[in-house]
Amino acid sequence: MAMTMSRPGPKTELDRKAAVLLEIWKNDPLLAMKQMYGVTPDKQQADFILDAVKEGCRIAVKSAQGAGKTSTLVWLTFYFLLTLDDCRILITSPSANQLHRVFHAEALKWHAKMPAIFQDFFEITTQRINIKGKAFQKADLVTASAENQENLAGGHSENYIILADEASAIDELVFDVLQGTLGTGTGGRFIMTANPVRNSGRFYEIFSQKKKHWKRKTFDAFNSGQINASWVEEMASFYGEDSDKYKVRVLAQFPRVSEEQFIPTDLVEMAATRILVPSMYRNYPKYCGVDVARFGNDKTVFCIRQGPMILDITSMDNLDNVEVSAHLMDYYHKHKPEAIFIDAIGVGAGVFDTCKHMGMPVVEVVVSTKSSDPKQYFNLRSQLWGEMRDWLNNEASIPEDNRHLTAQLCAMTYGFNAKLQIQLSNKKDIKKMGLESPDKADAVSLTFASNTFMYSPSSRVARKVKRSSYLWA
pLDDT at 432: 62
pLDDT at 185: 53
Residue 4 pLDDT class (50, 70, 90 cuts): very low
pLDDT at 154: 63
Q: What is the DSSP string of 288-352?
A: EEEE---SSS--EEEEEEETTEEEEEEEE-S--HHHHHHHHHHHHHHH--SEEEEE-STHHHHHH
pLDDT at 298: 80
- Answer for the pair 49, 73: CB distance below 8 angstroms, yes or no: no
Higher local confidence (pLDDT), 150 or 204: 204
Tens of pLDDT, residue by residue over 184-231, are 555 689 999 999 988 878 898 899 888 888 999 999 999 999 999 999
Q: Where are the beta strands (DSSP E) in 128-262?
A: 128-131, 134-143, 159-164, 189-194, 215-219
What's the Cα-to-Cα distance from 300 to each of 61, 209, 233, 334, 345, rounded to whole Å? Answer: 36, 25, 51, 18, 13
Residue 58 pLDDT class (50, 70, 90 cuts): very high
Q: Is the dihedral of CA 425, 430, 433, 435 positive or negative?
A: positive
Residue 122 pLDDT class (50, 70, 90 cuts): very high
Residue 149 pLDDT class (50, 70, 90 cuts): confident
Cα 340 to chain centroid distance, Å, stands at 32
Residue 453 pLDDT class (50, 70, 90 cuts): low
Average model confidence (pLDDT) across the chain:
86
- Facing residues of 266 across strands? none
| CATH class label, 265-452 | alpha beta
| First-residue to last-residue Cα distance in the chain | 112
pTM of this prediction exceeds 0.75 = no
For residues 441 and 435, give the distance between their C-alpha atoms in angstroms, rounded to a whole number: 13
For residues 323 and 304, give the distance between their C-alpha atoms in angstroms, rounded to a whole number: 19
Decide: helix, strand or coil at residue 210: coil
Work out the percent of the chain whose per-residue pLDDT is above 70: 88
With a cut of 70, say whether residue 120 has pLDDT above it: yes
The CATH number for 13-249, chosen from 3.40.50.300, 3.40.50.970, 3.20.20.10, 2.70.150.10, is 3.40.50.300
| Buried residues in 17-37 as b, exposed as e (16+ CB within 10 A) | ebbebbeebeeebeebbebbb
pLDDT at 89: 93
Cα 426 to chain centroid distance, Å, stands at 16
With a cut of 90, say whether residue 353 has pLDDT above it: yes
pLDDT at 462: 45
Tens of pLDDT, residue by residue over 281-339, are 999 999 999 999 866 668 899 999 999 999 999 999 889 999 999 999 999 999 999 99
Domain boundaries, the chain: 13-249, 265-452
Read off the DSSP letter of residue 377. B
Contacts with 19 (C-beta within 8 Å, 6 or more apart), sequence order = 1, 3, 5, 6
Q: Where are the beta strands (DSSP E) in 351-395?
A: 362-365
- Answer for the pair 49, 60: CB distance below 8 angstroms, yes or no: no
- Answer for the pair 7, 15: CB distance below 8 angstroms, yes or no: yes
Tens of pLDDT, residue by residue over 35-55, are 999 999 999 999 999 999 999
pLDDT at 458: 38
With a cut of 80, say whether residue 261 has pLDDT above it: yes
With a cut of 80, say whether residue 6 has pLDDT above it: no
- Answer for the pair 69, 90: CB distance below 8 angstroms, yes or no: no
Please compute the mean of the pLDDT values over residues 418-432 and round it to a whole number: 81
Residue 170 pLDDT class (50, 70, 90 cuts): confident
Please compute the mean of the pLDDT values over residues 143-157 and round it to a whole number: 77
For residues 29 and 45, give the distance between their C-alpha atoms in angstroms, rounded to a whole number: 12
